[in-house]
Structure 1
Amino acid sequence: MDTKPSIPETMRAVLLTGFGGIDKLVYREDVKVPQPGPGEVLIRVGACGVNNTDVNLRTRWYDRDVNESLSENVGLQGAGDPKKADAETSGTWKEETIVFPRIQGAAVVGTIAKVGQSVDSSRIGDRVIVDPQVRDLSLPERAQLVAYLGGERDGGFAEYVVVPAENAYKVQSSLSDAELATFPTSYDTAEEMLVRARLGEGETVVITGAAGGVGTALVQLSLIRGARVVAVAGAAKEERLRALGAHHFVAREIADVRGAIEALVGERAVHVVADVVGGPFFTDSLKLLCRGGRYSTAGAIAGPIQSIDLRDLIYKDLEMFGITCPTPDTFKSVIGHVASGRLKPLIEKTYPLKDLPAAQGDLVKRSHVGKLVIIP
C-alpha cells in the first residue's frame, strides 16, 4: 500500500506582488503547486527561515539608485523613489528584473515529495536542507550564481517549492525543521566570509551585527576556528552574545566603537573584520586592522555608500572580500558542522505562513538574536 501523502493541485503561499512595503506580501490559499522539471525535485516545505535578503528585495534596496540604510521605516514602507518601484526596475543582487508575483524564502528545509525526469525516485521521502544558490558550475568560481531562491526563482514561503536536485542535501539530524532552517543563507554566508578571510586559530575577529542571523553564525564559526571574538551589536543583546561564547562585547550605540575595541584588544590588533552591517563603521574597520589584515563583508544595511582612506588599504597591505555566492563546498562544510553538533540553532520566534508580514516587520526592528522562522 502506498503511504506517501498525496500532492494537492493548489497550495498556501505568500506572494510578493511588487516592490514596496509590507502590504506587497499577499497570503493566498489557491496558488498552483509547482511541478519539477528535468533534474529538479519538489519539496514539501517544513520550515523556511526569514532573512534580510527577503526584505532587501521586497523594498527594492538592492537597486543601485537606492543609497539609504535599511532602517525600520524602509523595511516597512519600501526604499527609494516609489515611482520607480515597478516591474521594470531591477531588484536583485544580479541587477535583474523581477517577475511578479514572486514567492520569496531562501532558507528551506523539508521533504522531497516528487522528482523530475533524470532524478532517482528513491529520493522521494528524503529530508533535505536546501542550498539557495542555483549555480552554473562551468563559470568561474566567484561568478557561478545564476539564480537565488526567492529572488530570480520562487522560494519557500509556501507549502511546496521546486529546486534543482543537486541543491537539496539529504540531512540526518535530531533538530526540528525550524531549527535546521536557521542555517541556509546565514551560516553558509558566514562560513564563506571566514573561509575567504582565512581566519585562523588565535586570531582576533571583530563581528558587526553580531546578534543577527549571519552575525550569530559568524560568532559560532569563529569559535570553532579557535579565534578571539569581539561582538558588536545592540547593548540589550550583550548577555546572549556572551552566552554564545563571544570573548568581548561592544555596544554599537556608544560614540566611539573603534576606541572601545582598541581598548580591549589594542591598536591595529585585529586580524579580520567580518562586517554584515556596513555604514559609517566601515572606515573605522580598516583602521582597526593590523598589517596584512582582512576585511570581509556580506551586508551594508546601515548604508551602502561609504568613504575609504586608500592609505589604510595600500600601506597596511590589507585584503578585502565581498561575499555573495558561497561555494558548494562551503555549504557542505556547514552541513558537516550541523551533523556533528558543533553549531547551535538560534531561533528567536516562529510564525505561521500567513504571518510572514509580521515576521518581516519584526526582522527590521533588529531586536532579535538569531533567526525568525516561518512554518507553513
Structure 2
Amino acid sequence: MQGEMLAVVTTGTGSYDKLVFKRVPMPVPGPGEVLLKVLAAGVNNTEINTRLGWYSASVTEGTDVTGSEEERPDGGWNAATPFPFIQGTDCCGEVVEVGVGGDALLLERRVLVRACMRQHGFERMENIWMGSDFDGAFAQFVKVPEAEVFPVDCDWTDAELATIPCAYGTAENMVHRAGVGAGMRVLVPGASGGVGSALVQLVKRRGAEVIAITSAEKRDAVAGIGADRVLTREDDLLEALGAESVDVVIDNVAGAGFPTMLKLLRRGGRYASSGAIAGPMVALDMRDMYLKDITLIGCTAWDEPVFRNLVAYIERGEIRPLLAGTYPLDRIADAQRDFQTKRHIGKLVLLPPA
C-alpha cells in the first residue's frame, strides 16, 4: 500500500502549535511488521508530557502545566525524542497489510496494540513505546511489529477499545507487580483519571478492597465503578484511615502527598508507581521505608502476562470501558486541552478520518 495519509505530526517541544495536522507518507510494513488502519486512538498524559518535555530532569513541577517553549532534548520517555514524529500510544486498528512472511490470518482483524514493547525479551527491562519512541496512532495508518498486535473479539466500539492499551496496561502492570490479591486493602490516589479508574476495576476484579481518592465532585462516579470507599483530596487520610492501615498503595499522583502514603502502609506493605502527576520531587523519610520493611516498586516496562490478561478480561466481560468523549483527529488540541482540565472520568479518544 503506497501513497499518503493524514496525521498529526508533533514538531518539537512546546505548546499546541507543535501539533500539525497534515499529509505524510504512508508507512510500509517490512518483514515482521503489519500495517493497521487506525480506527481510534486514545489521549494520554504521556503524549502531552512528551510535547512539553516534562520527562526532562530539569522539570520539577507536576504535569498540569499549560505549555513550554523551552527545548528539552532529554524530555522524552526514553530521554531523546525523535522530533518530528507522530504520537499516539493507544491504538485500536484493523490489520490491512502484513509484511513479507507475515500471518495473513491477521488481515481484516480488529486488534489492540501492546504499546510497551520489550524488544530484547521479558528477561530484560529495556523497552520502547509506540508514539513516544517511534511513530504512533495519531494518523490514519500505523505500522507496528506483528508480535505486538492482539485480536480482540467483543462488542465494544472502536473508541471503547482505544481506552484500554496505555491506561489499563499501565494499571494491570502495577497490580501484577504489587501482587494484589483477594482480601488485601489497596489505596488508589487519583482514582478518576485513565489509569486510576482502570486501577479501581482491576484491583476489584482480583477480590481486593479498593479505597479511592478523588475530587469531591467525582466521588459518586468513582464509587459507581467499584470503589468500596471514596475519600477526597481534602480529607486527612491518616485520620480517616489510620496509620498502617493498607496493604498496597498504587499511586500515580506523588507530589506533596507521598510521605503520607508510606505512613498509611502496613509493615511489609508495597508502594507501586508509574507516574507523578502532582510532581516528581517527593519527600522520603527513609525511616518510614526501612523500619516498616516497605517495598517501593517502579513500573514502566510491562510484564509478559499483562496485555494478554487485559484481552482476556475484555472478552470475558470482566472489565468495562470508561469512554469520556471522542474528537476528530484534527481537533487534537481541543482534546488535550480538555484532558488537562481533569473534569472527565476515564479516557478521551481521537477518531481519524475514514
Asked if the contact 1:48–1:106 (Cα under 8 Å) also holds between the matched residues in 2, the reply is: yes
Secondary structure at 1:250 match in 2: strand
Secondary structure at 2:147 match in 1: helix
How far is 1:118 from its partner?
2.3
Indicate yes or no: 2:109 matched with 1:126.
Answer: yes
Separation (CA, whole Å) in 2 of partners of 1:224 and 1:137: 31
Separation (CA, whole Å) in 1 of partners of 2:121 and 2:176: 22
Q: How do 1:177-216 residues align onto structure 2 when only pairs under 5 Å count? A: 177-216=158-197
Secondary structure at 1:280 match in 2: helix
Separation (CA, whole Å) in 2 of partners of 1:333 and 1:200: 15
Question: Given the superposition, is the C-alpha separation of residues 157 and 270 from structure 1 closer, same or farther in structure 2, using an over 3 Å criterion?
Answer: same
Q: Deviation per CA, 1:33-80, whole angstroms, max 9, x where unpaired? A: 111111000000000111111111110000111111112xx2x313xx
Question: Given the superposition, is the C-alpha separation of residues 345 and 36 from structure 1 closer, same or farther in structure 2, using an over 3 Å criterion?
Answer: same
Match of 2:18 in 1: 24
Asked if the contact 1:134–1:164 (Cα under 8 Å) also holds between the matched residues in 2, the reply is: no
Separation (CA, whole Å) in 1 of partners of 2:318 and 2:29: 34
Indicate yes or no: 2:322 matched with 1:346.
Answer: yes
Q: TM-score, normalised by structure 1?
A: 0.91
Q: TM-score, normalised by structure 2?
A: 0.96
Indicate yes or no: 2:57 matched with 1:64.
Answer: yes
Separation (CA, whole Å) in 2 of partners of 1:212 and 1:83: 27
Indicate yes or no: 2:250 matched with 1:274.
Answer: yes
Unpaired stretches in structure 2, ≥5 consecutive residues: none
Match of 1:289 in 2: 265
Q: How do 1:1-376 residues align onto structure 2 when only pairs under 5 Å count? A: 7=1, 9-28=3-22, 30-71=23-64, 74=65, 76-78=66-68, 82-85=69-72, 89-95=73-79, 97-138=80-121, 140-141=123-124, 143-145=125-127, 147-252=128-233, 254=234, 256-260=236-240, 262=241, 266-376=242-352
Separation (CA, whole Å) in 2 of partners of 1:123 and 1:230: 41
Separation (CA, whole Å) in 2 of partners of 1:328 and 1:355: 35
Alpha-carbon RMSD across the aligned residues, in angstroms, is 1.3
Q: Taking every aligned residue pair, what percent have the same amino acid on both sides?
A: 41
How far is 1:139 from its partner?
6.4
The total of aligned residue pairs comes to 352
How far is 1:255 from its partner?
5.7
Separation (CA, whole Å) in 1 of partners of 2:238 and 2:32: 50
Q: Deviation per CA, 1:293-329, whole angstroms, max 9, x where unpaired? A: 1000011010101110111111111111011111231
Asked if the contact 2:13–2:71 (Cα under 8 Å) also holds between the matched residues in 1, the reply is: no
Separation (CA, whole Å) in 1 of partners of 2:256 and 2:235: 12
Asked if the contact 2:8–2:330 (Cα under 8 Å) also holds between the matched residues in 1, the reply is: yes
Secondary structure at 1:185 match in 2: helix
How far is 1:278 from its partner?
1.0
Asked if the contact 1:182–1:347 (Cα under 8 Å) also holds between the matched residues in 2, the reply is: yes
Asked if the contact 2:122–2:303 (Cα under 8 Å) also holds between the matched residues in 1, the reply is: no
Secondary structure at 1:107 match in 2: coil
How far is 1:259 from its partner?
2.7
Separation (CA, whole Å) in 1 of partners of 2:122 and 2:305: 16
